[in-house]
Amino acid sequence: MNGGSFINFDANATYGVLPEVAEEVLSNHSRYLNPSSIHRGGQVARAAIEDAREEIRTLIGADRRDRIVFTSGATESSNSAISSALSGATRENNLVCSNVEHPAVLETCKSFDKVECRICEPEKLREKVDENTRLVTLMLANNETGKVYKVSELFTYVKSNFPWIPTHSDCVQALGKVEINFKELFADTISISGHKIGAFSGVGALIIKDGAQFKPLIHGGPQEVRFRAGTENTLGIISFGIAARIARQKFESRIVRYKAMKLWFSDKLESELTRKQIPYQINFKDEDSLPNTLHVRFPGRKADDLLIALDLEGVLVSAGSACASGKPESSHVLLAHGFSEDEAKECLRISFNAETRFEELASGLEALVRCL
Ligand code: PLP
């Protein structure tokens, strides 16, 4: 099944592999052998991995001494960072985590039932930090709402008052859409993921600040300077490096494009819905938010039904509910923002990638109005 042609308005879930990434990786793919081997097949793979590491380092403004550790994705990166920060923590300790985190962070924090888990609104996190805190974690941008958070402000406060407390940020959605300067974030660790920027799925990275304490999650061989055992996902890592290079080279032009697309789409949507007297509410409009993400509520209409109707039209979006154990549950992020269970189920997230064409915007919008 190849799914036929479709319009990806769900780029925050997966960007879609960039054709230039696929081409460049696959043109040389059979030459990459085990990067730990000392023969030339290993050395070719090793060199390509190191090139990818440097591309990622440049994209996020990390120092030469900071560690870029390749992982299977941001879920593993955050699990590693959190379990490292909490190793040795006791019942007297606590962790401080925002209530809008992706499950990769939120559920991992909750799984450490030995420590007190202080979960609250991003704006109130600093009030929860004290000398017994063993971790403070806040994402840079939210995958559902697109909201961008003041991570650097919070972590500067933490580091000036409690310099020993590890700080972690999930930067998955910010990568390529918001300027990330690792030095200025005051994070000890950040997580990023390849498939959100046009690389293959199944590859991510954990960035560890020079001098920060780190205990690996995965033990075994000496790969990734013993920070993450297991044979590297060479093709995935190379794809991540190429996508990072493209994200850096096209950063400014993509932002301009994203902003133009979002403005055009929301203006046109508002005027069409007003004309047709269809009730709607554009959320998080005036807030600092990702330039590619639009969040809309259609009162009285189930977003899941809309999602399916749009899928039949070849337009892919995502809804404010997730199907866990066969029953759609309202998103914890929207509930945290004060939406009721029912309101959350009326929300749709539309997220573009930088390759979305204006014709696609127009036909996607037309389909959305038709489905409504
Ligand atoms: N964090 C955020 C904000 C995400 O959007 C995602 C993916 O949806 C993840 C973490 C998990 O990333 P991965 O799929 O690489 O494990």
Token pair of 40 as six digits: 């030339």
CA–CA gap between residue 176 and residue 179 (Å, rounded): 7
Q: Would you tell me how many other CB atoms lie within 10 Å of the CB of residue 322?
A: 13
Q: For the chain, how many helices (H) and strands (E)?
A: 13, 15
- Phi and psi for 363 in degrees, rounded to 5? -75, -30
The stretch 107-126 carries a mean pLDDT of 97
Q: Is the dihedral of CA 274, 280, 281, 283 positive or negative?
A: negative
Ligand 1 atom closest to 77 (CA)? 16
120 is catalytic: no
Say yes or no to pLDDT of 158 above 90. yes
Q: By alpha-carbon position, which residue is closest to atom 8 of ligand 1?
A: 13
The string of pLDDT tens digits covering residues 164-179 is 999 999 999 999 999 9
Question: Could you tell me the pLDDT band of residue 1, with boundaries at 50, 70 and 90?
Answer: confident
Return d(Cα 208, Cα 111) in angstroms, integer: 22
What DSSP string describes 180-215? Answer: --HHHHT-SEEEEEGGGTTS-SS-EEEEE-TT----
Answer yes or no: is pLDDT of 104 > 80. Answer: yes
CA geometry: angle 74, 291, 255, nearest 5 deg: 95
Q: Does domain 7-17+251-371 fall into CATH 3.90.1150.10?
A: yes
d(CA 77, CA 75): 5
pLDDT, tens only, 195-228: 999 999 999 999 999 999 999 999 999 999 999 9
CB distance 147 to ligand 1 below 6 Å: no
Tracing tokens 């096209």 back to the chain, one arrives at: 250
- 19-249: CATH topology is Aspartate Aminotransferase; domain 2 (3.40.640)
Residues of the chain with CATH 3.90.1150.10: 7-17+251-371
Residue 143 pLDDT > 70: yes
Q: Where in the chain is the domain with CATH 3.40.640.10?
A: 19-249
For residue 204 and ligand 1, the question of a CB distance below 6 A is answered with yes
Residue of 97, 109, 117, 323 marked active site? 323
| Candidate from 14, 100, 102 with most ligand 1 atoms within 8 A of CB, to mutate | 102
Task: Please tell me the pTM assigned to this model.
Answer: 0.97
Q: How, if at all, do strands 189-193 and 167-170 pair?
A: parallel
Segment 29-41 shows an average pLDDT of 95
Q: Is the CB of 170 under 6 A from ligand 1?
A: yes
Q: Separation of 28 CA from ligand 1 center, angstroms?
A: 28
Give me the count of residues in the chain.
372
Rounded mean pLDDT of 38-47? Answer: 97
Q: Is the CB of 173 under 6 A from ligand 1?
A: yes
